Structure 1
């Protein structure tokens, strides 16, 4: 990264299509500089690396928030000695109390400063906080449109209730620490087990098991076969099927699950897996 001549700076939670417009301004020696605020939950920590071929350099906000504008530029030049281009979004602010904007950046930095204008989709500006809102209300298709990819969570596989395979359908259960959890309900999804290259069509449940023990779960039923040995999984959300609901019996729940499987299968049929 010491040889990088161009950097794009931002929080970049989600790596959404607005962010991709910034990355498009980088050349082959470019680097993405992520300012970690501690609030990223669409692509927490190193998850951003799944959505760009550029190397990523991470900065903790607490390490730079006290700097003056001049000190911030000096800091960047120290990290990137060959730096001659900085790419930021139109709403970028930096330095102590976020008092500096891209206008100051153009004055303080002797190289090229590229400011990317607001990116919209169907007249609506794209921001990470809007994507979080969409995920939280179950508008997965809307969130995915803003992201430019399916909203995806990952986690280690944990033991479930033990009744799924016996009385309902077999599922894998994951703990997705650090990720924003979608609205409680059932989703058509794609699930990747361990480090497999392909995703399996699946139907996933997120929420409290109100029909059984009331515990919270994120579980996925693989539609094209049974999973055996596994350690971790990624669940990629395609569409919302229905709200979480309490059923009077396991038999009623199983009927609903079979209907969910039918809907998900139809939804996922033409996707390239």
Structure 2
């Protein structure tokens, strides 16, 4: 994988055979990335403190929860992060499942970067969704037999029909002998930092707000697929990105940065290519400035979005070529000023 997010292979969670692609770095940091079933994973007795959540976006509110977790003694070596794939709503109520802010690999990489000794990605399925709040934590304490603390956000919900809240979690903690620490929402200008708020900012092209709440630039990952070669014929070869699982901004033309893993300034067009009559389905195409080479089947991460203009129909390919050249100049100027 070209971007700095690990890929994983399937494994038997009961035996703990999980290794990220960058295994040397993870082993040096004494970290474990674990993917598997809640019902089949063996004990992790070294983990005393955990946090649990979907963590889509791993935004600054999530980062505050992680910070509180890692501050517990004896520190990160005793801390674990429990998250779910796919997003629980994808199983429980697909029509309500929100568009993703991070791919699974992005999310795991960001969670691992916190320094926690364990990132446990639990396979969320129908069986798991049917557990009562109490039954869910009975399985949790089997995996973490020395559990001392659960750290969660104020709006944490768990168990069948989201019946468990922080009050019920405290009751369960009293019975199962672990403490519960509730982290209040992180506020920005009086409003809570939340994944839903970040999604709205991206839909409205408020990329500065999204970046402030994420703590980094919003980044979309896609794989390059063969195109029709029109961009190359008019002097601006583009990478046609497919397999995008994340929220995209509104259709239009953007200055951006593209990582492959080297980073290049770029111009992205997300739309229906009306001048070319290419159909009704929008596609994301990226022209990397200063890149020469073959991008076919490679993975590209697109970030640092800056809106340039709406997509429009031109009377000829010559007019389109001239506008693209102007877009490239504007993108270069934007990134020169942003330094």
Determine if the TM-score, normalized by the shorter chain, exceeds 0.5: yes
1:235 alignment counterpart: 302
**Is 1:155 the equivalent of 2:222?**
yes
> Shift of residue 58 of structure 1?
2.0
- If each structure's strand is expressed as a fraction of its own residues, which one has the higher value? 1
1:173 alignment counterpart: 240
Distance 1:116 1:49 in 2: 21
Counting only pairs closer than 5 Å after superposition, residues 16-165 of structure 1 correspond to structure 2 as 16-27=59-70, 28-29=76-77, 30-35=79-84, 36-37=87-88, 38=90, 39=97, 41-52=100-111, 53=113, 54=116, 55-59=118-122, 60=124, 62-109=126-173, 110-165=177-232
> Shift of residue 85 of structure 1?
1.3
Post-superposition Cα deviations, 1:183-214, rounded to whole Å, max 9, x if no partner, equal 11111211112xx2x31111111111111123
> Shift of residue 8 of structure 1?
1.4
Q: Secondary structure of the residue that 2:266 maps to in structure 1?
A: strand
2:249 alignment counterpart: 182
1:11 alignment counterpart: 54
Distance 1:229 1:68 in 2: 48
- Given the two structures, how large is their TM-score scaled by the length of structure 1? 0.90
**Is 1:200 the equivalent of 2:273?**
no
Distance 1:106 1:22 in 2: 17
Q: Secondary structure of the residue that 1:269 maps to in structure 2?
A: helix
> Shift of residue 89 of structure 1?
0.8
Distance 2:64 2:125 in 1: 23
Post-superposition Cα deviations, 1:88-111, rounded to whole Å, max 9, x if no partner, equal 111111122212211111121122
* More displaced 10-residue stretch of structure 1: 56-65 or 148-157: 56-65
> Shift of residue 157 of structure 1?
0.9
Structure 1 unaligned regions, length at least 5? none
Q: Is the 8 A contact 2:252 2:309 kept in 1?
A: yes
Q: Secondary structure of the residue that 1:161 maps to in structure 2?
A: coil
Q: Is the 8 A contact 1:153 1:176 kept in 2?
A: no
- If each structure's helix is expressed as a fraction of its own residues, which one has the higher value? 2
Q: Secondary structure of the residue that 1:75 maps to in structure 2?
A: helix
Distance 2:278 2:206 in 1: 24
What is the number of residues matched between the two proteins? 269
Distance 1:50 1:206 in 2: 27
Distance 2:80 2:219 in 1: 24
Distance 1:150 1:201 in 2: 14
Q: Is the 8 A contact 2:229 2:237 kept in 1?
A: no
Is the alpha carbon distance of 1:143 and 1:176 closer, same or farther for their aligned partners in structure 2, counting shifts above 3 Å?
A: farther
**Is 1:246 the equivalent of 2:246?**
no
Post-superposition Cα deviations, 1:120-149, rounded to whole Å, max 9, x if no partner, equal 222222111222222223322222222111
> Shift of residue 115 of structure 1?
0.9
Distance 2:223 2:300 in 1: 6
Q: Is the 8 A contact 1:141 1:239 kept in 2?
A: no
Is the alpha carbon distance of 1:267 and 1:148 closer, same or farther for their aligned partners in structure 2, counting shifts above 3 Å?
A: same
Structure 2 unaligned regions, length at least 5? 1-31, 33-43, 71-75, 91-96
